[in-house]
Structure 1
Amino acid sequence: MAPVTAPADPRTVLVTGTSSGIGLATAVRAAVSGRRVVATLREPGRGDALRAAADAAGVGDRLEIVRLDVTEPESVATAVAGVISAYGRLDAVVNNAGVGRLGTVEQIGVDAFRSVLETNFLGAVEVTRAALPHLRATGGRLIAVSSLGGLIGQPFNEAYCAAKFALEGFLESLAPVAASTGVTVTVVEPGPVASEFVTRLTPSVPGLLENAGPYEAAFKAYLGATAGLFEQAQSADDAAATVIEVLDAERPPFRVQTSDAARGLAAIKLADLDGAAVQAFTTPWLS
């Protein structure tokens, strides 16, 4: 028997990065809630898992898969225009598309930073720019899936954290401006999540170890410490549930974490005036 879904709802939500993980789970949950969902992928050929999950939930008819590469402005404009042409409205955007990159700057180089910033930060900026006029028309919601890496700088995640810090700074600045026109902005901050996002980083580890130089001991210690964290990781579906709560909330907050563990870590950072508490938290990962 298919899961019970909510009655059809005219509200339309666009979700980026839906091939797996939080993006996939958010797209399916949003459709189950009754919304029409435009689930976007850089490569629509990778949409089989999403289609299967939507069909299993009984919402395949509410979910449309569309190509959108956040690093290509023309692709973004085409996808957003397609939503308006097909449905006449856009009520929410979930900026979820992202990539990770392990390694310290001497290992991976500046080009790696540019690539991660292009997807995780500038891609979200481009989607936001294209969507805002339509979100104003509906009094809609702009949501970004960030990370605790957008609050806490994590060893050997410099490029990823830099991009997520930039994303949160952008949206914290935009939030009051958007609110003045009726658009609500929220940043969702998961902690460790068990998903393909993490497993895609694994193949890079041997090469990074070979090129670790003076950081070899610290990098090995980091890998051991974080492996323990991900053994207790939250599921992507649980994290996606928080995104749906934000979509449904009458007055969603600007910043929300997806688990008690994430809330505890965010509290360390937000009360850490001189940075000592965060350094005390992350430094043991390297020894």
Structure 2
Amino acid sequence: MDTKTVLITGTSSGIGLAAAVATAQAGWHTVATMRDTRRADALLKAADEAGVSDLVQVKRLDVTDAASVATCVAEVVAEHGRLDAVVNNAGAGSVGTIEQHGMDAVRSAMEVNYFGVVELTRAALPHLRASGGRVITVTSVGGVVGQPFNESYCAAKFAVEGFMESLAPVAASVGVHVTVVEPGAVASEFVASLKLDIPAMLAEAGPYAPALQAYIERTTKSYDSAGAQTSAEAAAPIVEVLAAERPAFRVQTSDWAREFVATKLADVDGSAVQGLTGGWVR
């Protein structure tokens, strides 16, 4: 049987990089995409060290550019004759509260984290129908539980989860499986890439400064090396979903993530979540 092909977005670092190497190790021809292919060195080095360079192909893809999405998908199908899976992984964080953050930050978070996912999924679906393939989307526990000072990010991830939960039964009717993968804290470049100037944020936070200070202290601890998963650990469920005959719709990447998400899914009146996250800002 021909080698199956998977397209993964956001592979220059973090979960995307780890997923690209892991899928190649599992025997998939992996099209590893990123907005700036000049940042491919870390991925190519990791693929070489894993002995899977021949199965990893780097392509440019900007999920916020419809023409870029269409071009990349068309090239993959033309070159490989098939597309068996898409992993929507590209994303961007956004820390702040709406009164001070403004609408541009909200729209930017939605473009990358939501509309980019929708655009690629739409472009890929005809080819996934042909292959009986699957759509896997890396969301976050922040796509289930709203978190302080992550209003824009969580709103986008909530939107992704609602979109995929609605799409799943429709896609299944034409032979395409849909899964969301929900990581918790991951020790990767994702947090560092936010390039937050914490002192400046606190100085400009006005009445929100005490809550922001408490949130930053709590979050910093959750992302330290002892308290977070590695990118490889968070990426492992993606490979499991690709291999599963009938994958679950919702998959968490750790016991902590499962417990955290379960709080929301059993929280009919919202009091459990508010009690939990309220403690993060006090």
TM-score range relative to shorter protein: over 0.9
1:262 Cα deviation (Å)? 0.3
- 8 Å contact 1:40–1:66 — kept in the other structure? yes
1:5 maps to what in 2?
A: none
Q: 2:5 aligns with which of 1, 6, 12?
A: 12
Instruction: Write the deviation string for residues 214-236 of structure 1: whole angstroms up to 9, x where unpaired.
Output: 00000001011111211201111
Instruction: Write the deviation string for residues 128-173 of structure 1: whole angstroms up to 9, x where unpaired.
Output: 0000000000000100000000000000000100000000000000
For residues 191 and 136 of structure 1, do their structure 2 counterparts lie closer, same or farther at Cα, with a shift above 3 Å needed? same
**Map of 1:127-166 to 2, 5 A cutoff?**
127-166=120-159
For structure 2, which runs of at least 5 residues remain unmatched after alignment?
none
**Map of 1:1-287 to 2, 5 A cutoff?**
10-231=3-224, 232-287=227-282
Instruction: Write the deviation string for residues 72-113 of structure 1: whole angstroms up to 9, x where unpaired.
Output: 000000000000110000000000000001100122111000
1:253 Cα deviation (Å)? 0.3
- 8 Å contact 1:9–1:35 — kept in the other structure? no
Query: Which structure 1 residue ranges, 4+ long, deviate > 4 Å from structure 2?
Result: none
For structure 1, which runs of at least 5 residues remain unmatched after alignment?
1-7
Distance 2:200 2:173 in 1: 49
Distance 1:42 1:82 in 2: 16
- Percent identity between the aligned chains? 62
- 8 Å contact 1:148–1:190 — kept in the other structure? yes
Distance 1:102 1:206 in 2: 14
Tell me the TM-score normalized by structure 2. Answer: 0.98
Kindly tell me the number of residue pairs found equivalent between the two proteins: 280
- 8 Å contact 1:107–1:208 — kept in the other structure? no
Structure 2 residue matching 1:93: 3-state secondary structure: strand
Structure 2 residue matching 1:64: 3-state secondary structure: strand
Distance 2:260 2:158 in 1: 15
1:38 Cα deviation (Å)? 0.3
1:208 Cα deviation (Å)? 1.9
User: Please, what is the CA RMSD of the aligned residues?
Assistant: 1.0
Structure 2 residue matching 1:201: 3-state secondary structure: coil
Tell me the TM-score normalized by structure 1. Answer: 0.96
Residue type at the aligned position of 2:127? H
Distance 2:241 2:46 in 1: 22
Residue type at the aligned position of 2:212? F
- 8 Å contact 1:102–1:204 — kept in the other structure? no
- 8 Å contact 1:141–1:183 — kept in the other structure? yes
Distance 2:18 2:68 in 1: 23
For residues 223 and 9 of structure 1, do their structure 2 counterparts lie closer, same or farther at Cα, with a shift above 3 Å needed? farther
Structure 2 residue matching 1:203: 3-state secondary structure: coil
Distance 1:217 1:266 in 2: 27
